[in-house]
Structure 1
Amino acid sequence: MTQLSALEEIRALLVQGGWVMLPIFLLGLFAWILIFERYFTYRRAKSKGEFGIISQFQKSILDSYAFGRRAVNFRLEEIRHFIEVDFDKAFPTIASCAALAPMLGLLGTVSGMVHVFQTIQLFGFGNPVLIADGISEALLTTQAGLLVAFPIVLANNHLRARMERLKAESWKRALQLENEKFSAEGK
């Protein structure tokens, strides 16, 4: 299958599924963009470089060390708060996208069934091809809503759990660094 024929197949599915397929597709695309953005935030925070969490904690300890242990504690808590806010943004939006996709699929199901009943009203049961078109629309949108939501939920939960572990590990390491710094000086 060539790229062109794959795109033609996708276009045919979008047309066959009715108008609801486009919002389902766009919702899924938006959610995946947010997931990839969160993933790159995670990778940057996990790095050993300047933008890593441990580096931020080390820098804050060194910057406020001269003001005493209490100042270091306040600065570490401040950095921790900003990291938590940065890590947690977009996850509620991703979860909302995952919850909305099946609802849009259900809307498409209702739309397809309305289409079936309108066809029956106009042409009766004499032409099963016309009836099958509406049923196909109903089933495609249901399937699309579920196919969009399921991997988004899995990716969201997996990435969120990894970020929570990274936050916990980095906070533990920050406290160790603080203790090492002050115990080495005898303060």
Structure 2
Amino acid sequence: MLWNFALALLQEDVSNPAPVAANSSALIEMVHNSGPVAFTVLVILLIASIFSWAIMLSKWSSFRRAQMQGQRFVRAFRKSTRLSEIASVAEQFKPSPLVPVFIEIHDEYQRQNGGRGLPRNPVALERAAQTASSEALTAMERRMTWLATIAAIAPFIGLFGTVMGIIDAFHGLGTAGAATLRAVAPGISEALITTAAGLVVAIPAVVGYNQLTARLREFASRMDDFGRELLNAIENAALLTPPAQPQQPEEPRRRSF
């Protein structure tokens, strides 16, 4: 049965050869001749592709600025001898996620003992650094879930168009009453083009999501390292500062009788 069907399709193709066209014109013609279901699927995939590329380009640009500003901020921090100097110019490096970590630790240190001496509660400084790192990382992860969603569902959207194209092909085969290529060609073309469109949308989104996630892990690691470096700098500066000499108590005056 299957052999007779394939032989009939082959004979139909040989007896009625189609003109050879360019790949681009054939693709445009298939899209133009698509049914309403396949056309809707293609429009949805096009919107998803544009949205995913917009997310990836904006994230790559923002991550690049954050990395450059972070390197500048670390160089300025290591050259400075006072935390107050860094605090006064920290806003200049604002795109860097290291700046919120510094500001949180510096503010907590100021609240504890006015920025002098050993911190009374080092654990509170560590918690402040962890909170700032978490908030900065959450801000950098914004819209990443949309990219993961597009990467996950785009093949299934294309598969829906594929299923509907196959259904259309069998419907055309049943209507024609004969196993001819002309009867099944529209449905098969819709199935193939929606499958390809789903893969074209999903593959870049998967690659971009994995690369951006790796960059986020790098930023998280750098924020943790910088927080520990800042805490060490505070403790070392407090240990090197000589303690204030206590004032000698005044001798009690002798009462004269």
User: Which interval holds the TM-score relative to the shorter structure?
Assistant: 0.7 to 0.9
Between 36-45 and 108-117, report the one with greater CA deviation.
Answer: 36-45
1:86-139 deviations in Å (ceiling 9; x for gaps): 233333321121111100111111111111112112223365234212111101
The 2-side partners of 1:84 and 1:157 are apart by 16
1:73 to 126, 129, 132: 126
Cα 1:139–1:151 change in 2 (3 A) is same
The 1-side partners of 2:130 and 2:206 are apart by 31
Paired AA for residue 26 in structure 1:
I
* TM-score of the pair, normalised by structure 1: 0.83
* TM-score of the pair, normalised by structure 2: 0.62
- CA RMSD in angstroms comes to 2.5
Cα 1:96–1:16 change in 2 (3 A) is farther
Which position in structure 2 is the counterpart of 1:3? Answer: none
Which position in structure 1 is the counterpart of 2:229? Answer: 176
**Percent of pairs with identical residues:** 25
What's the secondary structure of 1:51's corresponding residue? Answer: coil
Alignment of 1:37-186 (within 5 A): 37-48=58-69, 49-66=93-110, 67=112, 68=119, 69-125=122-178, 128-186=181-239
Cα 1:39–1:113 change in 2 (3 A) is same
Structure ranking higher on relative contact order (CA contacts 8 Å, 6+ apart) = 1
The 1-side partners of 2:26 and 2:187 are apart by 19
* Structure with the largest fraction of helix: 1
The Cα of 1:15 is off from its aligned counterpart by 3.5
Cα 1:164–1:133 change in 2 (3 A) is same
The 2-side partners of 1:61 and 1:171 are apart by 12
What's the secondary structure of 1:52's corresponding residue? Answer: coil
Number of corresponding residues: 181
Structure 1: 5+ residue runs without aligned partners? 1-6
Q: Which has the larger radius of gyration?
A: 2
